[in-house]
Amino acid sequence: MIRRACLDDVGVLFDMEKQASIAALAHVFAPDIAFPDSDVLARWCLVFEEPGMTVLIDQSAGVPIGYAAVADGWLRHFGVVPAWWGTGRAQRIHSEALAELAAQGAQATYLWVLVDNHRAKRFYERAGWRDTGVREDEVFAPYPVKMQMVRT
């Protein structure tokens, strides 16, 4: 079941993002770099203050397993906990997020993904996203490069 999240879900969203990030990005971040718990938790609180933001949570038997946050033509946050990778749940919440963006009137949709997040890039490419050629350094240490993708 996919449902809309609320501010009370900040801890759940943080936990899911941390699980997914640690598993997917271990090759990007050295083991001595701690996950930025307080920054990520604070960012999730700010997400709910953004006008037009929709946050979705996918659940199985009441257990949160994936999330997406969308606004202004952007897929801002997206992830599935590692235990559910390869089950099709990512495609499911991705489709729901794109439907929400379309309902918001988005003609094209954008996202950022780390260049070295190979699993995510493959997922997005299979789902019709393409590289725009735009690159930026991420704002957190060790400042990996992120790339912009678009889907029309």
Other residues' Cβ atoms within 10 Å of the Cβ of residue 68: 26
The whole-number pLDDT of residue 128 equals 97
CA 133, CA 10: separation in Å to the nearest integer? 32
pLDDT in tens, 134-152: 999 988 778 899 999 999 9
Q: Residue 35: which pLDDT band, with cuts at 50, 70 and 90?
A: confident
- The whole-chain average pLDDT of the chain stands at 94
Nearest CA to 106 among 98, 118, 95?
Answer: 98
The whole-number pLDDT of residue 25 equals 85
pLDDT in tens, 39-73: 899 999 999 999 999 999 999 999 999 999 999 99
What are the φ/ψ torsions at residue 133 (nearest 5 degrees)?
Answer: 90, -5
Answer whether residue 74 shows pLDDT above 90.
Answer: yes
Contact 96, 110 (CB under 8 A): no
Dihedral sign, Cα of residue 111, residue 117, residue 123, residue 127: positive
CA 26, CA 137: separation in Å to the nearest integer? 18
Other residues' Cβ atoms within 10 Å of the Cβ of residue 22: 12
Answer whether residue 17 shows pLDDT above 80.
Answer: yes
The model's pTM: 0.93
2-6 average pLDDT score = 97
